[in-house]
Amino acid sequence: MTDQMTAAVIGLGSMGWGAAVSLLRAGIATRGVDIRANVLDKFTAEGGTSFTSASAACAGADVVFIFVVNGTQAEDVLFGSGGAVAAAQDGTVFVTCVTMEPSRAVDLAARVEAAGMLAIDGPVSGGSAKALNGEMTIMASGRAEAFDKAQACLDAIATKVYRLGDAAGKGSQVKMINQLLAGVHIAAAAEALTLGAKIGLDLGMLHEVIQECAGNSWMFGNRGAHIVAGDYTPHSAVDIFVKDLGIVTGEAADHPVPLSQTALALFKEASAAGMGREDDAAVAKLLATKGGIKLPGMS
């Protein structure tokens, strides 16, 4: 069955690249779309078919995954000039893996379905390493028909696919809550480790000990390792959480989200200080500077 399927992945960033390579590994003919020539060359070398045009890649595809940065880009890819939906055959499944406002996810899915396609609101989690191994988690909602048609592709890129309802929006709502926690936990990890450095604790020791204690979180373990190593290579950038926590505070409306607001302010300040494209753990450098200390990797 997988030999007869054709998938397209629009956006070969860290998560999209992992998804595309995982689809190839599963024996699914896969088309990759990106604006970077070197990435497309690399994808061709992996056995994929490379395109610079979303419309060209989606013509004749059975399942299309959208892995762009935000909702605005997703809308443009789907419905803008040379958009994917206009070029696709009826019944193509569009899986929108973008972290965006749930209200926008609902709107885009309705427009995709009105054009004769199938839509899955399917934001992802797990990070670049899990994406590369086909081990992402997908928080998805959409019609059963869409899931049935895309199942082989979903199985190729994820170990967990949560089906959260038959209408778009629920996937993006759950992802929004995940990003609330992730952003707050990164900020908390940065605060904890910089305070530890300020009072003279060895960061490696502190990071190791806390991971065996009740105060640990996945983000403390993962991003804390970046801070201890002084390595801010962007696996997920500061500006991503400016966007994602902005979604949280915007969609929350009149519901109080004080921790999200505080974390968002921290990420915004780090971005304004020139750290927007660095790893999101770089908020620790901002706190260290304010506290008058130097962390590993700081000059």
Rounded to whole angstroms, the Cα distance separating 229 from 213 reads 21
Is 84 in contact with 64 (CB distance < 8 Å)?
yes
Rounded to whole angstroms, the Cα distance separating 288 from 292 reads 6
**Catalytic residue positions, numbered:** 175
Is 33 in contact with 53 (CB distance < 8 Å)?
yes
Rounded to whole angstroms, the Cα distance separating 178 from 194 reads 24
Tokens representing 160 are: 């967990």
175, 200, 197, 188: which is closest to 101 by C-alpha?
Answer: 175
Q: What is residue 97's three-state secondary structure?
A: coil
Which residue's entry shows tokens 């896969």?
30
- Residue 167 gets which letter from DSSP? S
- Residue 160 gets which letter from DSSP? E
- Could you give phi then psi for residue 52, rounded to 5 degrees? -100, -10
